[in-house]
Structure formats: C-alpha cells, structure tokens
Amino acid sequence: MTQAGFAPVVDGESRVLILGSFPSVMSRKEGFYYGNPQNRFWRMLSAFFGRPLPRSVAEKEALLHAEGIALWDMVAVCEVEGSADASIRDERVVDLQEVLRAPIRAILCNGSKAYELLKAHFPSLLGMTEKLPSTSPANPRYEERLWHEALRRALADDAFFTMPKKS
C-alpha cells in the first residue's frame, strides 16, 4: 500500500535540518516524527538541549522551533511494509529546496537510508551533510555521543558547513 510521509517542520529560524528516511508504523499512527517511544531521537535531542522530554506533538514541535531544528524525511511517498527502511519501494523523494529557504547551515542524516537518498538526489548538499547512526531501536550501533558532537558542530557560530553555491 502506498504511504505518504509528513510535511516538514521548519521556520525562518531553522539552522539545522535533520533528515530521516520515512515514518515508522508507530509514527504514522501518531501522525508525527519518531512516534515509537523506543526510538532514541526525542531523548537524545532533549538531553542535548537540557530540556524535558517532550511527550505531545505540540511539545515536540515547540522544542524543534525553540532550538532552530528543522525536521523532515527524504521519502515523500512510497510503498512500504512495516517500518524497515529495507522495505521501502517505489519511493518519491522530497524537494529539499522547500526547506532550504530557511537559513539551514547543516544537514544531519538520521541513518544510512536518508544519507544514501540525499547523496543520490542532492549531491551538491554533501558538503554540509553528516551521516549519523540511526536513532531507531533496531540499530545496535547507535551512540548518543556522536549525535551530540554533530549537533554541537552544526550549531556552533563558526559551523564548518556551508551552503552550496546556487548555479
């Protein structure tokens, strides 16, 4: 069955774009990103910013907006069985230009699938992109420290990421 992803969470203050692949079954049921309570994403983000763990969609959106984080998935529409990235077929990727109107200076990919799709469809953005281990509960190689280090670099005043030149 064809499934559609979510709209981006972004505003004029967003400095870092975090890209996932496609919402899990639990996220689709909740209607928002990283809806599986076992996914480490919201715990990692709230720990990094020293904020309480957001529970509701409104609290999650408020955290993102307050800290300059944009959030989206690479896949807009696809055929998918369950939640595994490996089951994604016939995908249509999003148009990142919509989000890049914000002052985004770094892109952090939540897992390999998001990174591979970005690399295939938007190679000019690789200079400002970092691939990080998936926060999925299915990923045994997750390290919160790597996420915190990447966020620290991406949010630094002298962030080493630069937007590609428009041609």
Could you state, in order of their start, the residue ranges of all structural domains in the chain? 2-155
Q: Are 45 and 63 in contact (CB under 8 A)?
A: yes
Per residue in 106-150, pLDDT tens? Answer: 999 999 999 999 999 999 999 999 999 999 888 878 899 999 999
The pLDDT of residue 119: 96
Question: How many Å apart are CA 137 and CA 93, to the nearest integer?
Answer: 24
For range 61-79, the mean pLDDT: 90
Residue 79: helix, strand or coil by DSSP? strand
**Percentage of the chain with pLDDT > 90?**
63
Question: At how many degrees (to 10) do helices 41-49 and 57-67 cross?
Answer: 50
Around 21, how many Cα atoms within 13 Å sit in the side-chain half-sphere?
Answer: 26
Q: Is 110 known to be catalytic?
A: no
DSSP 48: H
pLDDT bin (cut points 50, 70, 90) of residue 55 is very high
- CATH code of the domain made up of 2-155: 3.40.470.10
What letters, b where the CB count within 10 A reaches 16 and e where it falls short, cover 3-19? eebbebbbeeebbbbbb
Q: Write out the E strands in 87-163.
A: 89-93, 106-110, 129-132
Q: Using one digit for the tens of pLDDT, what is the confidence trace for 1-20?
A: 787 789 999 999 999 999 99
